[in-house]
Amino acid sequence: MDTIDPRTTLVLISTMSGLMALVLYALKRSYPPSIRGLGQWSKALLFVVVGGAFAASRGKLPELFTTAVPNFLLCWGVYRLYSGSQSFFGVRPRPRPWLAFIGGVVLVTMWFTWGSPNYPMRLRMVTVVFGILFGLHAWLIYRQGTLTFARMLAIGTLAFITLIQVARLITTFVFPMGSDVLDPTPQHIIFIVSFSFSILLLSISTVLMAGDSLRVELEYLATRDSLTNALTRRYIDEACDHELARSQRNEKPLALLMMDLDHFKRVNDTYGHQAGDAVLVDFVKTVRALLRSKDLLGRFGGEEFVVLLPETPLDDALVVAERIRAACANPPDSTKIACTVSIGVTANAASSDTVDTLMARADAALYRAKSKGRNQVVIG
């Protein structure tokens, strides 16, 4: 173990952290702004880079720059990794209390450097800060729901490095520590190497988590209408196939509503297309408020929409359709443009029903509602 040079290992930490900082910065430039935390992770690794470089310069620079400065930079870098994950998961970071805490710890370590020199005490204080931050970081990611591979890698890495900090703290009371971090004692080597590879693995896990987030966002955008945020026609078609097969397999009812806003062209011609867009957005919000979480609302194009009601008999579907019609005919906000809706309602009637037959029946019912004067609910 004494053949490994601590100074070389610190340089290795800085080099790997610098490369991963560049990777995360490149991702920040290319990923959508909705994926947060990438910039903070990148800056955090830069703090580790500079802190490691200063620590490795012991004996070549004034002691202030090889003890207090790297202690602060490394602790602040570890905190910024944590705050980056907070931003990534939508938790608001609180940097000021942490800045005060870390700054206070560093000031005390300066006393144990020049006022009353005590290297083991300095080491214990910095180790405690690392352990707290790594532990909180692991707990933050664990509480975020689904444990993907990327999140499990991050949690495992953080849990490992937290345990390493606990072990490092214990060894300060058991084994001789030497005079500084560059003393080639076995425990120093183990802890520096562990820190190095943990930072690398943690950086990789952040890249993977960002990739997972991007994939989820792209999948979401691919299934949503860009204006109204209703489901796309392609997604609704696939969902209808799936739900109809499940309905027939489990002998459960399935209802379908085909809806068309009445005289929508008149709205565009009278108030302009922006006003027409606002009507469509308001319509989707109104309908969504009247549906269950498992019901699906999709936009078929223009002012035509479809609602899929799983496990819903025809009578219940009629009630839902009437609520939608009434809500559109009597909007609670009188300042908004009123636009009534015609609705065709159908339900699966036989095991031989297909999505096409359901759509055709609902569309025929919608056509009859239009021909009867609009603002109607008709069964198909």
Does the pLDDT of residue 43 top 90, yes or no?
yes
Q: Which of 248, 158, 273, 163 is nearest to 206 (CA)?
A: 158
On whether residue 147 sits in a domain, the answer given is yes
- Could you tell me the two tokens for 125? 């204080």
On whether residue 131 sits in a domain, the answer given is yes
Quickly state the pLDDT bin for 14 (edges 50, 70, 90). confident
Q: State how beta strands 341-347 and 377-379 pair.
A: parallel
Quickly state the pLDDT bin for 326 (edges 50, 70, 90). very high
Same domain, 272 and 138: no
Same domain, 290 and 204: no
Helix (H) or strand (E) holding 124: helix 119-142
Instruction: Residue 324: give the domain boundaries.
Output: 233-379
Q: How high is the pLDDT of residue 58?
A: 80
3-state SS, 317-370, equals: HHHHHHHHHHHHHCCCCCCCCCCCEEEEEEECCCCCCCHHHHHHHHHHHHHHHH
Q: What is the mean pLDDT of residues 139-145?
A: 93
Same domain, 217 and 179: yes
- Could you tell me the two tokens for 65? 């720059």
Q: Quick check: 235 and 184 in contact, CB under 8 A?
A: no
Quickly state the pLDDT bin for 341 (edges 50, 70, 90). very high
Same domain, 216 and 241: no
Higher-pLDDT residue of 225 and 178 is 225
Same domain, 284 and 179: no
pLDDT in tens, 361-378: 999 999 999 999 999 999
> How far apart, in whole angstroms, are the C-alpha atoms of residue 15 and residue 9?
10
Q: How high is the pLDDT of residue 119?
A: 87
On whether residue 198 sits in a domain, the answer given is yes
Same domain, 135 and 258: no
Higher-pLDDT residue of 214 and 145 is 214
On whether residue 1 sits in a domain, the answer given is no
On whether residue 195 sits in a domain, the answer given is yes
CATH number of domain containing 51: 1.20.1070
Q: Quick check: 244 and 358 in contact, CB under 8 A?
A: yes
> How far apart, in whole angstroms, are the C-alpha atoms of residue 69 and residue 54?
7
Q: How high is the pLDDT of residue 214?
A: 92
- Domain boundary pick from 222, 254, 274: 222
- Could you tell me the two tokens for 9? 């290992």
Q: Which of 161-170, 177-186, 349-358 has the lowest mean pLDDT?
A: 177-186
Same domain, 156 and 35: yes
Phi, psi of 307 (to 5 degrees): -120, 130
pLDDT in tens, 99-127: 999 999 999 999 998 999 998 899 999 99
What is the SS3 assignment for 152? helix
Same domain, 65 and 186: yes
The count of domains in the chain is 2
What is the SS3 assignment for 256? strand
CB within 8 A of 139, min separation 6: which ones? Answer: none
- Domain boundary pick from 222, 251, 274: 222
Residue whose token pair is 């970071």: 93
| Cα–Cα separations (whole angstroms), residue 36 to 32, 47, 202, 312 | 9, 19, 17, 40
On whether residue 354 sits in a domain, the answer given is yes
Q: Quick check: 236 and 296 in contact, CB under 8 A?
A: yes
> How far apart, in whole angstroms, are the C-alpha atoms of residue 341 and residue 357?
23
> How far apart, in whole angstroms, are the C-alpha atoms of residue 199 and residue 210?
17
Q: How high is the pLDDT of residue 181?
A: 65
Q: Which of 139-153, 176-190, 281-295, 296-310 has the lowest mean pLDDT?
A: 176-190
CATH number of domain containing 367: 3.30.70.270
- Could you tell me the two tokens for 284? 């989707």
Same domain, 37 and 132: yes
Q: Quick check: 45 and 200 in contact, CB under 8 A?
A: no
Does the pLDDT of residue 146 top 80, yes or no?
yes
CB within 8 A of 350, min separation 6: which ones? Answer: none
CB atoms within 10 A of CB 333: 8
On whether residue 227 sits in a domain, the answer given is no
Same domain, 135 and 211: yes
On whether residue 228 sits in a domain, the answer given is no
229 torsion bin: left (phi>0), alpha (psi -120 to 50), beta (else): left
Q: Quick check: 103 and 72 in contact, CB under 8 A?
A: yes
Q: Which amino acid is at 318?
A: L
Using the CB atoms, write b or e for 168-188: b if 16+ within 10 Å: bbebbeeeebbebbbeebebb
Q: Which of 322, 325, 273, 326 is nearest to 302 (CA)?
A: 273
Q: What is the mean pLDDT of residues 271-277?
A: 90
Does the pLDDT of residue 75 top 60, yes or no?
yes
Does the pLDDT of residue 313 top 60, yes or no?
yes
Q: Name the DSSP class of 380.
A: -
Same domain, 176 and 204: yes
Same domain, 195 and 249: no
- Domain boundary pick from 194, 222, 250: 222
CB within 8 A of 368, min separation 6: which ones? Answer: 344, 378, 380
> By percentage, how much of the chain surpasses pLDDT 70?
95
